[in-house]
């Protein structure tokens, strides 16, 4: 197994026993899985995994009590063991599952026993649970066989396993429109926002600080667009960020005009532009989007509670969301997505109910429900001691409320993914009215088609189905760095896509 590095967990706090749990393991390479599983049961703790041959980031960690000692496999007995304080849990390695999966299954069982809790997604630590179901669908397995595998090998709840299986079938139908090897999708990153929200970990920068240099950014981006034009016509086009509509009218028109002049987007299955921040939207910008053929936009409240918007630093109001939504409808958009986040600081179930009612009254075409993930690079992570992890509440009840609201709007779940440190250990899930799904969302999550990604922080992926492989080329997140190294970024893409 590959060696993994001791992570920088972000919080500049004193490493004390009440804040940190130490786990020792006998071989490197399991740090991610151990951290993800143990952290899911102890969300208020920092989990530090100490592995052989991997330097410890802070010497004081070695002075703290060890919560758990893990011996993954004994060569003589073929057994592994997990010591938690004064108790030992032994387990046999299932040769069919392998050392790692046998270990993950036992670690999950041990954590359930010592905490008295279970997790909705069992011991799954990856971002794409639907990939497990989809792989087995393509192998000809029945839904019952897939259910048995997910609930048995991974201890996923029947409810979540059924959700993953249903979404996998839905994705298969939508992906039948896509050529995985010959086609590609185009992503353009606009890494600017009016302000940065507390929970955000993306590389985004205040538009006000870059407005005078926007010609420089677009000049570099246009070089990449010219390169992408030589690849062909994309199946889907997605302009994201940041907030693309942070650009003022002049630059938004300039970007879309150049893009549609160089690349045939009219034949794409969808042309999405995130207009997520309502304070970045006006009727003129919406008319510009419409003029250049954008078919799908996002108007994202995240919450309709002003007290929460103030806490998370999102300088918007619920009234702005309502105004932007109605202006988008008036501009002729018939495919509008709205995002919301469950588990935001201080929100109770009554707040979630109110947000869902206000979204339902607007009647969007799709609803993306995020479970708050506390990202290491976010300001929220830095202020977690002040805000309190206990204020980040997401429950089965709030997830069900969102699902019921989506159903009442005639929507079905069509894509799903997970992240580390999600509130309640749940998932992000996209609901849509049939025919208004965001196909790019499925492509980027399931990694079944090449993505030509342009702009600062964008990551291009060359996907080959047989033999299966994914090769990446990353652009620098820093805007100055991206601009100065644009010729290098273009050469990387030429090599990646054999241009």
pLDDT (mean) for 395-418? 96
Residue 25, beta-bridge partner list: 70
CATH number for the domain running over 177-487? 3.80.30.20
Task: Indicate the length of the chain as a whole number.
Answer: 499
Please say whether the beta carbons of 192 and 204 come within 8 A: yes
The chain-wide mean pLDDT, for the chain, equals 90
For 326, residues 6+ apart whose C-beta sits below 8 A from its C-beta are none
**385 vs 41 pLDDT, higher one:** 41
* Band of pLDDT at residue 71, cut at 50, 70 and 90: confident
* Band of pLDDT at residue 44, cut at 50, 70 and 90: confident
Predicted local confidence at residue 210, as pLDDT? 93
Annotated domain spans of the chain: 1-117, 118-170, 177-487
Predicted local confidence at residue 203, as pLDDT? 75
Structure letter (DSSP) for residue 372: P
- 3-state secondary structure string, 178-226? CCCCCCEEEEEEECEECCCCCCCCCCCEEHHHHHHHHHHHHHHHHHHHH
Q: What is the DSSP string of 127-179?
A: S-HHHHHHHHHHTT--HHHHHHHHHHHS---HHHHHHHHHHHHHHHHHHTTS-
Q: Provide the b/e sequence for 134-159 (b: ≥16 CB within 10 Å).
A: bebbeeeeebeebbebbbebbbbbee
- Other CB atoms within 10 Å distance of the CB of residue 67: 20
Span 335-358, pLDDT tens digits: 999 999 999 999 999 999 999 999
pLDDT (mean) for 383-409? 85
Topology alike, domains 1-117 and 177-487: no
Nearest to 51 by CA among 76, 32, 78: 32
Reply yes or no on whether the pLDDT at 76 is more than 80. Answer: no
For tokens 């090599």, the residue is 495
Host H or E run for residue 432? strand 428-432
Query: What six digits make up the tokens of 431?
Result: 């609901």
Domain 1-117 bears CATH identifier 3.40.50: yes
Phi, psi of 484 (to 5 degrees): -70, -25
pLDDT (mean) for 430-455? 95
CA dist 389 and 147 (Å) reads 33
Reply yes or no on whether the pLDDT at 375 is more than 70. Answer: no
């Amino acid at each position: 197994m590959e060696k993994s590095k001791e992570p920088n967990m972000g919080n500049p706090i004193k490493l004390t026993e009440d804040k940190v749990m130490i786990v020792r393991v006998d071989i490197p390479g399991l740090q991610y899985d151990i951290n993800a599983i143990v952290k899911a049961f102890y969300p208020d703790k920092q989990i530090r995994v100490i592995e052989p041959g991997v330097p410890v980031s802070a010497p004081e960690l070695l002075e703290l009590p060890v919560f758990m000692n893990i011996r993954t496999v004994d060569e003589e007995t073929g057994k592994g063991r997990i010591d938690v304080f004064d108790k030992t849990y032994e387990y046999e390695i299932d040769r069919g599952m392998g050392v790692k999966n046998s270990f993950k299954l036992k670690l999950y069982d041990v954590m359930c026993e010592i905490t008295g809790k279970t997790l909705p997604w069992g011991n799954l630590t990856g971002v794409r649970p639907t990939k497990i179901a989809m792989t087995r669908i393509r192998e000809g397995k029945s839904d019952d066989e897939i259910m048995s595998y997910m609930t048995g090998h991974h201890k996923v709840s029947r409810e979540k396993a059924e959700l993953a299986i249903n979404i996998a079938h839905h994705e298969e139908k939508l992906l039948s429109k896509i050529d995985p090897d010959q086609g590609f999708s185009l992503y353009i990153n606009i890494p600017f926002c009016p302000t940065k929200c507390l929970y955000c970990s993306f590389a985004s920068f205040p538009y006000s600080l870059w407005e005078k240099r926007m010609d420089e950014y677009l000049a570099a981006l246009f070089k990449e667009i010219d390169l992408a034009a030589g690849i062909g016509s994309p199946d889907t086009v997605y302009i994201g960020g940041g907030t693309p509509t942070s650009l003022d009218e002049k630059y938004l028109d300039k970007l879309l005009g150049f893009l549609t002049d160089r690349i045939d987007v009219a034949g794409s299955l969808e042309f999405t532009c995130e207009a997520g921040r309502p304070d970045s939207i006006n009727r003129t910008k919406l008319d510009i989007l419409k003029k250049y053929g954008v078919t799908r936009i996002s108007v994202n409240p995240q919450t309709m509670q002003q007290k929460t918007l103030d806490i998370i630093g999102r300088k918007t109001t619920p009234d702005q969301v309502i105004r932007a939504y109605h202006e988008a409808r008036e501009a002729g958009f018939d495919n509008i997505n709205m995002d919301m986040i469950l588990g935001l600081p201080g929100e109770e179930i009554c707040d979630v109910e109110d947000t869902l009612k206000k979204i339902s009254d607007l009647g969007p075409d799709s609803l993306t429900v995020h479970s708050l993930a506390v990202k290491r690079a976010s300001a929220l992570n830095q202020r977690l001691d002040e805000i309190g992890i206990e204020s980040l509440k997401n429950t089965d009840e709030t997830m069900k409320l969102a699902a019921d609201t989506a159903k009442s709007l005639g929507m079905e779940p069509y894509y799903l993914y997970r992240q580390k440190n999600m509130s309640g250990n749940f998932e992000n899930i996209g609901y849509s009215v049939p025919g208004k799904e965001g196909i790019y969302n499925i492509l980027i999550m399931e990694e079944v088609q090449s993505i030509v990604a342009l702009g600062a922080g964008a990551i291009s992926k060359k996907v080959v189905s047989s033999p299966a492989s994914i090769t990446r080329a990353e652009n620098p997140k820093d805007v100055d760095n991206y601009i100065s190294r644009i010729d290098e970024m273009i050469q990387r893409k030429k090599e990646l896509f054999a241009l």
